[in-house]
C-alpha cells in the first residue's frame, strides 16, 4: 500500500441526476438482487435543479466505512449498501496517484475503509427519487475512485442492487431499464435510448404536493402488490411490453402526442395496481387528482396534448410540457389553481429554472393574484376564496445529463486533510 | 275497453329497495340492451331506510304517458324508459276490476296512457343508486298494474334495460346478476342467492361523503373504461368469474372473513380500472381513502375482519359490519374520525336505524366530543382541531327485502280521482 506515513487521502466527487419513470417500474421478481417484473423507461432530470453530489474517499487512516447524508452520519449496514460496496470492491483496479505518491493495488481495496458524504440539492423527504440519485452517485463515484473498467451500463447493474430505479440515473436523457433474463441479474441494467439533446424542447414542472398521510414505502408497497394484486401480472406481461416498444418509438420520433398518452396511461395504471393491492395503497390525493383533471381538460380543449403528467410513489406531480411556451402557459394555470399561502415568497414557491416564471409574465404575488381563469375553465373562483397551500412548491426543470466527476476540489464534501464532512 | 264514461283510474303502488354491489358491475357488452361484461352480486338494502315508492296509474282520460320524480315532472322520452315501457306493454295481460266495472283487454294496453309518480326516501343526488331502485320499482309496479305473468327474475331482465343494476333490486337479500350468453339479453337477469333472513346479523352503515367535484356518470364512465382500460377485460374474464364463485360460497356459508376480503378487493379493483381508464376516473376522494385506511387498520388490529367496505361510482362508503355489536364500535370510530360540523343536529347526522347510535352509547353531541381514540389509533387529535364536515351524514341500515305492493291506498302518490301527484 503506497504512501510512507499512511497519511494520504484520495477522494473523488461526482454528481448524479435523479430520474422520473414514464413507463413505471413496480414489482420485483427477485427481492435481494432487485430484479423487476417488467422493463421501465425514464427521463433524466437536469442535475442543475435536482441531483445528488457524493464525495468518496479512501485512506489507510480510516478504521471503518462511514457515510454522511446531508451532513448527518447514517448507517452503512443495510443489505443494499453492503451489496453495492461488495460488488464495487470486487471489481476495483490498481490506482496510482503519482503526485501524492500513492499506489493502491486492486487486492488492497478489500482492506481499505471508505468515507462517503452525500448531499441532495432538493428536499430528501419530498418524494423526489432521492434514493435513485443517491445510490447511483455512490456507485458512480466509488467506481471512479477505484478505477473500475466497467462502463455506465455495467455500473447500473450494481446501482440497481442499491435501489432499483437508481440504475436509470447512470445516463442522461432517455433511459431504459431492461429487466433482463438471467437469474443472477447480470443483464438487468440500464441503456441509454437517447441523450438529453435528442429532444431538448421539453420542459418539466414538478408540483411538490403537501401530503397529510404517511406514505407506504415503495419497497413494501411493490411487494404487497406482487403478492395480492390480481392485475399486476397482466400489466407486467401483457401491457408493459407493448408500451415499452411504443415509448421507444415515441422518443425516437419525438412524437409528443404518443409520449403523452403512454406516460399518462402508464402512470395511471401504476396507481391502479396500487389500488388493486390488498390492503389498497393510495399515493395520489385530491390535489393530485385536481392536477390531472386540469391537465386533461386543457389537453382536450387544445385538441392535441400539451402536457404529460406522471406520479411516482407519492402525491407529487411531474408534468412534461412540449416546449417553453407551453410550459409558461402551464405554470400560469398551476399558479391560478394552486396559489401559495398568502405569506409565501414567490421566489421560494417556484424554484429551479425561474426563467419559465418570467416567460409566464409573473414577477410577484400581485401577478399571481391577478391571473384570470384559462379559457377551458368555466368557473372563476375569486383569489381570496381559493384554497391555498395544497402545493408546497413547484420546481421548473428539463431533461438533463448523466453522472459527471467534479474535478474542482472545492466542490468536495469531505475535507482533504480530515476525510470528514466539511 | 270497460267503463261507461271512461272516467275510471286504476292504480298500483309498490316499494322497491336499492342495492349495493359487493362484486361490481362495470362495463357493457351491449349498450342498448344493457348487457354486462361480467356477473355481479349485490346486497339488497332495507327499504325502511332506502327505497323508492312508485305509483303507476292508467285511465282512458290520460292523453299521454307522464312521470313525476320526487314531485317534479320529468321526461319519459329517454330510450331507457321507452325500452321498459315497450317491453312491459308487450307482455300486458287482461285486467279486470269488478268493483270499478273495468275490464282491460291485453291489446288495449297499447292505446292506454300511463301516469307514474315516484319518490325516493333518501336524497336522489347522494349517489345511492337511486336509479336502480327507481327503474326496478317502475317495472315492478307496471307489471302488477298490467297483470304480467312473468316472475321477478323475468321482470329483472326488463328492469335491466332501464338501468343495469336495477335488475338486482327485484329481490331482497343477496342477489346475483347473471350476465347471460344470449345476444338478445333474455338470460341476463337477476336470481336470488339467499333472502335477507339467511344472514340477518349484518349491519350496514353508509357514509355520505361530501364531494367537491362533479362525478362522471356511470354510463359514460363504464363506456370509457371498456374503450380505454388495458385491464378491464382481464378483470371481467379472469378475475371476476372466480370471485363470483367464491362470493356465492361465502354468502352460502355466512363466511364473514371471505365476504370482507372479496367485497373490499372487488371494490378496490373496480376503482382501479376506473383509474386505468383514459382520461382517468376518480370516484373516491381523500375522505374515502381515510375511511378505508381506518377500517383496514381496525381489521388488522383485531386479527379477523370486523367490517367490509365498498364504494360505487362516487365517494360514499358502504360499510358492512359482522353484527350489531361491531356496528356500534364502527359508529364510534366513524364519529371519532368524522365529526359533524359543530352546528349539526346529531339526529340529522345519523339517520336510518338510530338504535345503533344508542348501542354505541351516544345520546348527543357531547358524547361525540368525548369519544376517545380507538385502541388501534395512536394519535389523539383533540376534538377542536379535527376537520369537520368531510362526511355529510351517516345512514344505519341492514340487508332487506325485495319489492312489495302497497295495498294501502293512502300510500299512493297519485290522487285517485285526478291521476296527478297528491
Alpha helices (H) in A279-343, listed in sequence order: 286-302, 324-337
Interchain contact, A269 vs B276, CB within 8 Å? yes
Find chain B residues with C-beta within 8 A of A289's C-beta: 213, 282, 285
Q: Does A301 touch chain B (CB under 8 A)?
A: no
Find chain B residues with C-beta within 8 A of A269's C-beta: 230-231, 275-276
Q: Does A261 touch chain B (CB under 8 A)?
A: yes
C-beta separation of A245 from B257 below 8 A: no
What percent of chain B is modeled with pLDDT above 90?
Answer: 88
What percent of chain A is modeled with pLDDT above 70?
Answer: 96
Q: What is the pLDDT of residue A311?
A: 96
Q: What is the pLDDT of residue B384?
A: 83
Find chain A residues with C-beta within 8 A of B296's C-beta: 279-280
Q: Identify which of B308, B294, B213, B220 has the alpha carbon closest to the alpha carbon of residue B257.
A: B308
Q: Does B278 touch chain A (CB under 8 A)?
A: yes
Portion 189-218 of B in contact with A at CB < 8 A: 212-213
- E strands in B80-215: 95-97, 102-104, 113-120, 174-178, 189-194, 203-209
pLDDT (tens digit, 9 = 90+) per residue, A285-300?
999 999 999 999 999 9
Q: Nearest chain A Cα to B243, which residue?
A: A230
Interchain contact, B272 vs A268, CB within 8 Å? no
pLDDT (tens digit, 9 = 90+) per residue, B323-379?
999 999 999 999 999 999 988 899 999 999 999 999 999 999 999 999 999 999 887
CA pair distance A275, B191, nearest whole angstrom:
30
Average pLDDT, chain A: 94
Would the pLDDT of A109 be above 90?
yes
Question: Residue B308 phi/psi, 5° resolution?
Answer: -100, 150
CA pair distance A159, A151, nearest whole angstrom:
12
Q: Does A62 touch chain B (CB under 8 A)?
A: no
- E strands in A303-373: 307-310, 317-321, 350-352
What confidence tier does A382 reach under pLDDT thresholds 50, 70, 90? confident
Is the bond preceding A95 in cis, omega lying within 30 degrees of 0?
no
pLDDT (tens digit, 9 = 90+) per residue, A390-407?
999 999 999 999 999 999
Interchain contact, B278 vs A285, CB within 8 Å? no
Q: Identify which of A114, A112, A210 has the alpha carbon closest to the alpha carbon of residue A414.
A: A114
Q: Identify which of B226, B345, B338 has the alpha carbon closest to the alpha carbon of residue B281.
A: B226
Q: Does B387 touch chain A (CB under 8 A)?
A: no
Q: Helix, strand or coil for residue B250?
A: helix
Q: Which of B228, B231, B289 sits opposite A234 (nearest CB)?
A: B231
Interchain contact, B268 vs A276, CB within 8 Å? yes
C-beta separation of A227 from A337 below 8 A: no
Q: What is the pLDDT of residue A2?
A: 46
CA pair distance A181, A29, nearest whole angstrom:
11
Find chain A residues with C-beta within 8 A of B285's C-beta: 286, 289
**Cβ–Cβ contacts within 10 Å for residue A330, how many?**
26
Would the pLDDT of B126 be above 80?
no
Interface test with B, best of A210, A225, A237, A265 (most B CBs within 10 A): A265
Q: Does B24 touch chain A (CB under 8 A)?
A: no
| Predicted-complex ipTM score | 0.94
Q: What is the pLDDT of residue B3?
A: 45
Q: Helix, strand or coil for residue A192?
A: strand
Residues linked to residue B52 through DSSP beta bridges, in sequence order: B16, B120
Query: How large is the average pLDDT for residues B180-188?
Result: 96
What confidence tier does A202 reach under pLDDT thresholds 50, 70, 90? very high
Interchain contact, A272 vs B268, CB within 8 Å? no
B20-47 burial, b at 16+ Cβ within 10 Å, e below that, comes to bbbbbbbbbbeeebbbbbbbbbbbbbbb
C-beta separation of B309 from B351 below 8 A: no
Distance from CA of A220 to the nearest CA of B (A): 16
Amino acid at each position: 500500500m503506497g504512501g510512507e506515513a499512511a497519511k494520504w487521502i484520495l477522494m473523488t466527487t461526482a454528481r448524479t441526476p435523479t430520474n422520473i419513470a414514464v413507463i413505471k417500474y413496480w414489482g420485483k421478481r427477485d427481492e435481494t438482487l432487485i430484479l423487476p417484473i417488467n422493463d421501465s423507461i425514464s427521463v433524466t432530470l437536469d442535475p442543475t435543479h435536482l441531483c445528488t453530489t457524493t464525495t468518496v474517499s479512501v485512506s489507510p487512516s480510516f478504521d471503518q466505512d462511514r457515510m454522511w447524508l446531508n451532513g448527518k452520519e447514517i448507517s452503512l449496514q443495510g443489505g443494499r449498501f453492503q451489496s453495492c460496496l461488495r460488488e464495487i470492491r470486487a471489481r476495483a483496479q490498481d490506482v496510482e496517484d503519482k503526485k501524492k505518491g500513492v499506489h493502491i493495488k486492486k487486492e488492497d481495496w478489500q482492506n481499505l475503509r471508505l468515507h462517503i458524504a452525500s448531499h441532495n440539492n432538493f428536499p430528501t423527504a419530498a418524494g423526489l427519487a432521492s434514493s435513485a440519485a443517491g445510490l447511483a452517485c455512490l456507485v458512480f463515484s466509488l467506481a471512479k475512485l477505484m478505477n473500475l473498467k466497467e462502463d455506465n451500463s455495467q455500473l447500473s447493474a450494481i446501482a440497481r442492487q442499491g435501489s432499483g430505479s437508481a440504475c436509470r440515473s447512470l445516463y442522461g436523457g432517455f433511459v431504459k431499464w431492461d429487466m433482463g433474463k438471467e437469474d443472477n441479474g447480470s443483464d438487468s441494467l440500464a441503456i441509454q435510448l437517447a441523450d438529453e439533446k435528442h429532444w431538448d424542447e421539453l420542459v418539466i414542472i414538478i408540483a411538490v404536493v403537501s401530503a397529510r398521510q404517511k406514505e407506504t414505502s415503495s419497497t413494501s408497497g411493490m411487494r404487497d402488490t406482487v403478492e395480492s394484486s390480481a392485475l399486476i401480472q397482466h400489466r407486467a406481461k401483457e401491457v408493459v411490453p407493448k408500451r415499452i416498444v411504443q415509448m421507444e418509438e415515441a422518443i425516437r420520433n419525438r412524437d409528443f402526442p404518443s409520449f403523452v398518452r403512454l406516460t399518462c396511461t402508464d402512470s395511471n395504471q401504476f396507481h391502479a395496481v396500487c389500488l388493486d393491492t390488498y390492503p389498497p395503497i393510495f399515493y395520489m390525493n385530491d390535489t393530485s387528482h385536481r392536477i390531472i383533471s386540469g391537465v386533461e381538460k386543457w389537453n382536450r380543449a387544445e385538441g392535441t396534448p400539451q402536457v404529460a403528467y406522471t406520479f411516482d410513489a407519492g402525491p407529487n406531480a411531474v408534468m412534461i410540457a412540449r416546449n417553453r411556451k407551453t410550459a409558461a402557459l402551464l405554470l400560469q394555470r398551476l399558479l391560478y389553481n394552486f396559489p401559495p399561502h398568502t405569506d409565501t415568497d414567490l421566489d421560494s414557491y417556484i424554484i429551479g429554472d425561474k426563467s419559465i416564471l418570467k416567460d409566464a409574465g409573473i414577477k410577484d404575488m400581485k401577478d399571481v393574484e391577478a391571473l384570470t381563469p384559462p379559457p377551458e375553465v368555466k368557473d372563476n373562483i375569486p383569489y381570496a376564496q381559493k384554497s391555498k397551500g395544497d402545493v408546497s412548491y413547484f420546481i421548473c426543470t428539463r431533461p438533463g445529463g448523466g453522472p459527471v466527476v467534479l474535478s474542482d476540489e472545492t466542490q468536495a464534501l469531505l475535507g482533504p486533510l480530515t476525510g470528514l464532512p466539511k
